[in-house]
């Protein structure tokens, strides 16, 4: 029995393109103007970068299986954004130390998540939700509600402004990042082992894979990538507030799902997540341009997620 099937990442990309073309017909859309269309497309991609990178760690954790999910992502983004803001304090030479610091802090939080999941066998949902609470509380205690600092000029230059042929730095960063993610998932032992533990942990263990070590490493990596996300987000906005990361949590999971990564683990790709981030960002900005209320936007986002997952679920070979 052969049925024409379409891979989920491709489906998400096609959906994104269709949505984009559709947006051209809106009253204030690009119409037939190619230059405006290009500019709008670049802007959408630029806006997707931050969700895309924050969702990268989520992708790894979901692929690792065992009901893997990282609900501490939002809180870690907030914490690391604030850290970046205060460490950098407007000085260019402080950018690298700040980047290093957020990677370490994000990684440590992830390490604790992983240790809780692997050693204490706390379910990922509970462990990372608890961690989100702890980190949020920590932010309040440390900042006392107000944050002082500033981003450095070089960050704004590299992240928010066009760098090459009118393409914003953020998009270039994303392209390089995506290449690394592909390499990590498809061309390293870590990636192969990650898919293995996500598919069947008993088989993985009996094939010589250190499952415990893999779980801890994956959550640590997820924390680090959320840290990188926080760094980039604050570099883009230039200002920070104590809820800056929160709006990324639900979309980061949705992007992974829309991108066709199996929520039960063992199957997925970062390209899918990138396409998912594009779709979600597009829908949000489309609805915003249409001057829909926040409530309607949420409903449409939720419905899209359900529709995509329902379609993927019907495909052969996608069900176990």
For residues 156 and 212, which CB has a smaller minimum distance to other proteins in the complex? 212
E strand or H helix at 198, and its extent?
helix 189-199
d(CA 198, CA 264): 8
Work out how close the CB of 180 gets to other proteins at its nearest, in angstroms, rounded to a whole number: 11
For residues 29 and 198, which CB has a smaller minimum distance to other proteins in the complex? 198
Beta strands in the chain (DSSP E): 162-164, 167-168
Work out how close the CB of 274 gets to other proteins at its nearest, in angstroms, rounded to a whole number: 20
Structure tokens at 53: 């990178």
d(CA 65, CA 267): 9
Work out how close the CB of 261 gets to other proteins at its nearest, in angstroms, rounded to a whole number: 12
Work out how close the CB of 82 gets to other proteins at its nearest, in angstroms, rounded to a whole number: 35
Q: Which residue has the tokens 């799902």?
A: 257
For residues 4 and 208, which CB has a smaller minimum distance to other proteins in the complex? 208
d(CA 278, CA 310): 19
CB 231 within 8 A of CB 98: yes
Work out how close the CB of 207 gets to other proteins at its nearest, in angstroms, rounded to a whole number: 4
Q: Which residues bind other proteins (CB under 8 A)?
A: 183, 186-189, 192-193, 195-196, 199-200, 202-210, 262, 266-267, 317, 320
Nearest to 312 by CA among 100, 8, 5: 8
For residues 91 and 205, which CB has a smaller minimum distance to other proteins in the complex? 205
d(CA 190, CA 91): 37
For residues 143 and 212, which CB has a smaller minimum distance to other proteins in the complex? 212
């Amino acid at each position: 029995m052969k049925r024409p099937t379409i891979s989920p990442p491709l489906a998400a990309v096609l959906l994104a393109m269709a949505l984009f073309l559709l947006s051209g017909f809106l009253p204030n859309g690009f119409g037939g103007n190619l230059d405006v269309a290009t500019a709008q497309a670049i802007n959408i991609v630029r806006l997707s970068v931050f969700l895309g990178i924050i969702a990268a760690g989520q992708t790894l954790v979901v692929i690792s299986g065992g009901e893997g999910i990282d609900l501490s992502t939002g809180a870690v983004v907030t914490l690391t954004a604030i850290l970046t803001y205060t460490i950098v304090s407007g000085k260019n030479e402080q950018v690298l130390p700040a980047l290093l610091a957020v990677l370490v802090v994000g990684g440590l939080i992830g390490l604790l998540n992983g240790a809780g999941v692997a050693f204490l066998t706390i379910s990922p949902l509970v462990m990372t939700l608890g961690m989100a609470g702890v980190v949020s509380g920590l932010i309040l205690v440390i900042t006392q509600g107000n944050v002082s600092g500033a981003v450095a000029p070089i960050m704004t230059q590299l992240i928010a402004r066009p760098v090459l042929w009118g393409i914003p730095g953020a998009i270039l960063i994303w392209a390089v990042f995506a290449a690394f993610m592909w390499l990590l998932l498809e061309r390293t032992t870590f990636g192969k082992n990650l898919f293995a533990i996500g598919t069947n942990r008993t088989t993985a263990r009996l094939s010589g894979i250190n499952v415990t070590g893999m779980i801890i490493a994956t959550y640590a990596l997820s924390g680090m990538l959320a840290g990188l996300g926080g760094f980039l987000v604050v570099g883009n906005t230039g200002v920070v507030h104590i809820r800056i990361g929160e709006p990324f949590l639900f979309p980061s999971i949705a992007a992974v799902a829309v991108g066709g990564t199996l929520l039960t683990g063992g199957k997925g790709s970062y390209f899918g997540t990138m396409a998912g981030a594009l779709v979600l960002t597009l829908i949000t900005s489309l609805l915003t341009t249409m001057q829909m209320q926040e409530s309607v936007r949420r409903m449409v986002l939720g419905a899209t997620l359900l529709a995509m997952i329902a379609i993927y679920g019907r495909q052969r070979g996608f069900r176990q």
